[in-house]
């Protein structure tokens, strides 16, 4: 009987011991899970902070760069048949410059352009005071400090509409680089006559003449001779 009683008591003691161990393990496991969860939360929080700051820094940098890249070169041109336009477009592309076409308010017709017929172009070129009206204009000429000015040669001179353009804006302190296109005639006195229409403070660069077969390489070579490498590096 005593042996049976002792056996029962030992059984209960063992059960209580096992129950206690189970509760301890459960408590430790819960504590461990809580620690891991807190660690993961802290790590996640730390990873989000740099990501949230990076877009802001990038945006600021891009905005400042855009402000510093304001264009200061303008390629302005008049073209009746498209030859001068091709040179102007290539020059603007090489320099990454703004492009402005001088458009006559009253467009020229084929009859107007016919040489030695007494037509409109002949009459204008015979009259140094002629000033054909221009349609539209340059929105903010003050932002440009260098202007490339292109035109065809008509009767050895620039079309009178170029005179209209030069007398329409204040070019004081700016650099003007003329260029012309023709089948055979050079710049001649055309550039000198245009220079006389500008303020004394204009930095007038010697002009150049291009034929209809001019290449991009030739245009870039000319630009490198009259402009600093700073402008060419923007292309």
Q: Domain range for residue 79?
A: 71-232
Q: Residue 12: its pLDDT value, please?
A: 45
The CATH number of whichever domain residue 127 belongs to comes to 3.40.50.360
- The domain boundary, picked from 27, 48, 69, lies at 69
Longest CA span, the chain: 147
102 & 154 share domain: yes
pLDDT above 70: residue 231: no
128 & 155 share domain: yes
Q: Alpha-carbon dihedral of residues 110, 115, 116, 121, nearest 10 degrees?
A: 70
12 & 97 share domain: no
29 & 117 share domain: no
76 & 135 share domain: yes
Please state the length of the chain: 235
Q: What average pLDDT score do residues 24-39 get?
A: 43
12 & 64 share domain: yes
- The domain boundary, picked from 69, 88, 113, lies at 69
pLDDT in tens, 40-82: 434 433 333 333 333 333 333 332 323 324 789 999 999 999 9
45 & 85 share domain: no
* Number of compact structural domains in the chain: 2
The DSSP-derived string for 64-131 is: HHHHHT---EEEEE--SSSHHHHHHHHHHHHHT-EEEE-EESSPPPHHHH-TTTT-HHHHHHT-TT--
16 & 110 share domain: no
pTM of the model: 0.68
Please name the residue that has the structure tokens 């899970």: 33
31 & 89 share domain: no
Mean pLDDT check: name the lowest of 16-20, 75-79, 226-230: 16-20
Residue 153 has a CB neighbour count (10 Å cut-off) of: 20
63 & 148 share domain: no
Pairing of strands 134-135, 103-104: antiparallel
Residue 57 and residue 20: Cα distance in Å, rounded? 57
Q: What average pLDDT score do residues 5-16 get?
A: 43
Helix (H) or strand (E) segment spanning residue 135: strand 134-135
82 & 63 share domain: no
The DSSP-derived string for 9-40 is: HHHHHHHHHHHHHHHHHHHHHHHHHHHHHHHH
pLDDT in tens, 89-126: 999 999 999 999 999 999 999 999 998 999 999 999 99
């Amino acid at each position: 009987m005593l042996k049976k009683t002792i056996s029962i008591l030992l059984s209960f003691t063992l059960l209580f011991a096992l129950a206690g161990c189970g509760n301890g393990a459960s408590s430790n496991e819960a504590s461990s899970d809580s620690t891991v969860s807190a660690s993961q939360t802290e790590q996640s929080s730390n990873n989000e902070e740099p990501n949230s700051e990076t877009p802001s820094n990038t945006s600021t940098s891009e905005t400042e760069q855009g402000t510093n890249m304001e264009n200061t070169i303008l390629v302005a041109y008049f073209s009746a048949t498209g030859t001068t336009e091709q040179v102007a477009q290539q020059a603007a592309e090489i320099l990454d410059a703004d492009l402005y076409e001088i458009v006559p308010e009253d467009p020229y017709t084929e009859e107007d352009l016919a040489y030695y017929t007494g037509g409109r172009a002949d009459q204008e070129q015979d009259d140094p005071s002629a000033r054909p009206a221009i349609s539209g204009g340059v929105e903010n000429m003050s932002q440009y400090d260098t202007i490339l000015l292109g035109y065809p040669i008509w009767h050895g001179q620039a079309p009178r509409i170029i005179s209209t353009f030069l007398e329409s804006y204040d070019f004081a302190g700016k650099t003007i680089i003329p260029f012309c296109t023709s089948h055979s005639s050079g710049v001649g006195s055309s550039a000198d006559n245009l220079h006389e229409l500008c303020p004394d403070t204009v930095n007038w660069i010697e002009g150049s003449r291009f034929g209809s077969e001019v290449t991009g390489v030739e245009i870039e070579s000319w630009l490198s001779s009259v402009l600093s490498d700073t402008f060419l590096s923007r292309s």
